Structures are given as C-alpha cells and as structure tokens.
Amino acid sequence: MAIKFVLQLFKTLLLWLFVTTILILLILLPRGDSKIDYSKSRVEMTEEYEKNITTFSWESYKNNITDFFSYAIKNRSLGQTEYGVSVEYEVWRYTKKSIYILLPSIIISFIFGVVKGIYDFKVGKKAFNLFGEKITSFFLSVPDFFVIIAIQVGIMALIDLGFPHVKLYGSETLSNKLFAIGFLSIYPTFYIARITENYLSSESGRDYVRTAIGKGTPSKKIIYLHMLNNCWIRVVGQINTLVLYILSNLFIVEFLTGYRGGAYRFYQAFHVPKQFSIGSSMNIDIPIVVEFIVLFTTIVLLTKIVSDMIHSILLRREATIEK
C-alpha cells in the first residue's frame, strides 16, 4: 500500500512539473517587438506595431527562456513590479486575500455538500419537495454568474426597501469576504451533494442494506453508520475536482464582487489591450503571470496529494476492518 502511494505521488509530481513547464514555455513565447517609434503618425505607429507583434523568431524564443531562467536562478526572484515591490511580494499580497475565501469555501462546500446529498437521498424524488434533488439540479444547471448577479440584485432591492445596508463589492470588509465565500461555494456544494446522493443510491440496493432493513434497523443508522461509511472513499476522491471547480470559479467571483484577490491580479497581468494606444503597455506582465501559474498549479498539486493521502488512509482502514 505504501509503495503504491509513493509511486502515485511520484507520478503526480511529474505531471505537475510537466504541466507547469509547458504553461511557462507558452507564456515565454515571443510576441514580436512592441517598441514603437513615437515620432511617426498614429496610423504609421499602428501599422508598425501590428507588423512587429506578429513576427516570430526561434532565436528570440530561446533568448526569452534563457534570460528568464538565468535571471530567476541568479537573483532568486522574478524581479520587481512597476510599483517598485518584488514580484513575490505582489503575488503573495493578492494571494492572501484569495486564501481567506478559498479555504472556507472548500470546507463549507464539502461539509454542506455531503449533508445536502444525504438529505436528497432521504427525501428521494418526491414531486412536491422543492428543497431536495430539484434544487440541486437547478443550481447545477444554472451558470454561476447568473446566480451571483441575481443574488446581488435581490440584496440591492431589499436594501432599497429599507433592509440594513451591507457592502456587496470590495475585499476589505467582513461582509465582502462572506459574500465571496458564499458565491464561491454554490456550485461545488451542489456538485458534492449530487455525488453523495448518487453513491448512496448505488449502495441502497446492496444485500447488507436489505438485510439491515429486514432486521428492523433504523434508517438513520443504516445511512450514517453503514452506507455513508462505505461511500466515504469515493466521496473523498472528489476533493481534487471540488478544488478545481472552486479555482475555476475564483475569477468570476472576484470579478463580479470587486474582490481584489489573486485571480483578479492574474487577469490584470495577463490582460493586453486589443488595440494599440500611445503610452499604454502592450505586453503581458510575464513575471507576475508565471508566478501565479506556479502558485495555482501548486495548489492543485497539494490538493491532489492530500486527497490521495486521505484516500490511502481510508483504504488501509477498510482493509484492516475486513481482516
């Protein structure tokens, strides 16, 4: 069992290294020379920019790679931002804000998702139960941004009617963080609920369940002590997918709530104006982008390792019980 886990860990590390390296190499692709002769007319400058930016050179690509990694190794840093602070400090400053909402969202989504899945299983497909599987299916089928906007509009309407004022937008107040956590947890919660309900349904037809029912064992005991215990391994195996969903929704939530966290800063660093304009930066902020790529892929890596560790422990416990 231990050897199998170590091999799985090694494969995971190799996959992380491969994916991270490929993403960094894509970012380092040369985008031509964006330097413009500002003595020319606007039309001439635009034509010059469009011509330069579409050129590609393997020599330039090689120089980008060697210069980037040699600088990082020599200085143990990716340099400074335009604001005069180190790239590492800038990334960590914004990432901390995202961590404040990421960790609670993961915990809340998993716990409430399992509870909701148990409830959906218990009430079944009753026609008039709106809080059972129907609401789970609704939130899984409706896009997150639509739900977030609808909630924001509803709260603003209530405030206009005289309800206490709360700050919906920003990242400094407690209400900002609570709303961000809530919005970030919506889809993952119902995803775990659907998974839990499906696993419990698959267990309900097994012989040990029918035997327990025949003996008059209380339904709560059957569900919580036996069925759920047999589902834990598969439910825990969804933690990695849960985190991926939360990370993918992070930018949407930060953008729609004005929460200035890591995902929003990553977007800023990656954003390039569609049209040339005098004085504006026409290049992505490569050091910031690379730092965030390493950060986000590392979060996924650590989540996968933790998920595999818990899965391995549960398997070992199950094997011990069977013996």
Q: How far apart are the first and last CA of the chain?
A: 15
- Identify the pLDDT of residue 279: 47
What value does the mean pLDDT take over residues 88-114? 92
At 281-290, the pLDDT tens digits run 556 788 899 9
pLDDT at residue 161, rounded to an integer: 84
Whether 105 has a pLDDT exceeding 50, the answer reads: yes
Cα atoms found within 13 Å of the Cα of residue 57, Cβ hemisphere only: 9
Confidence of residue 253 (pLDDT cuts 50, 70, 90): very high
Cα radius of gyration (the chain): 25
How far, in Å, CA of 246 to CA of 183, rounded?
Answer: 10
Q: What is the Cα–Cα distance from 39 to 282, expressed in whole angstroms?
A: 18
- C-alpha distances in angstroms, 12 versus 282, 297, 303? 36, 11, 11
Contact, 121 vs 223, CB < 8 A? yes
pLDDT digits 0-9 by tens, 25-75: 988 887 655 555 556 666 666 666 666 666 667 887 888 899 889 988 998
- Going by pLDDT thresholds of 50, 70 and 90, the confidence category of residue 246 is very high
Contact 235, 191 (CB under 8 A): no
Return the C-alpha torsion angle 232, 238, 242, 248, nearest 10. Answer: 180
- C-alpha to C-alpha distance for 82 and 305, rounded to whole angstroms: 36
Q: What is the mean pLDDT of residues 226-247?
A: 85
Return the pLDDT at 276. Answer: 47
Share of the chain above pLDDT 70, in %: 83
Q: 135 pLDDT exceeds 70? A: yes
Tens digits of residue pLDDT in 260-281: 999 989 888 876 655 544 444 5
Q: 288-314 pLDDT, tens per residue?
A: 999 999 999 999 899 888 888 887 777
What is the torsion angle, in degrees rounded to the nearest 10, for the CA atoms of residue 2, residue 243, residue 238 and residue 304? -10
SS3 86: strand
Average confidence (pLDDT) over 141-149: 87
User: 102: pLDDT confidence band, cut at 50, 70 and 90?
Assistant: very high
Question: Which pLDDT does position 207 carry in this prediction?
Answer: 80
Distances (CA, A) of 15 to 20, 24, 193: 8, 14, 29
158-213: pLDDT as tens digits? 888 888 888 888 888 888 999 999 999 999 999 999 999 988 888 887 888 888 88
CATH 1.10.150 fits 94-270, yes or no: no
d(CA 154, CA 159): 9
Output the average pLDDT for the chain.
Answer: 82
Taking the domains of the chain in order of start, what are their residue ranges?
94-270
DSSP 206: S
Query: Could you please report the per-residue DSSP string of 9-46?
Result: HHHHHHHHHHHHHHHHHHHTS--------TTS-HHHHH
Tell me the C-alpha distance between 11 and 188, whole Å.
27
| Number of CB atoms found within 10 A of residue 186's CB | 20
Instruction: Write the DSSP symbol of residue 142.
Output: S
Computed from CA positions of residues 248, 249, 250, 256, in that sequence, does the dihedral angle turn out positive or negative?
positive
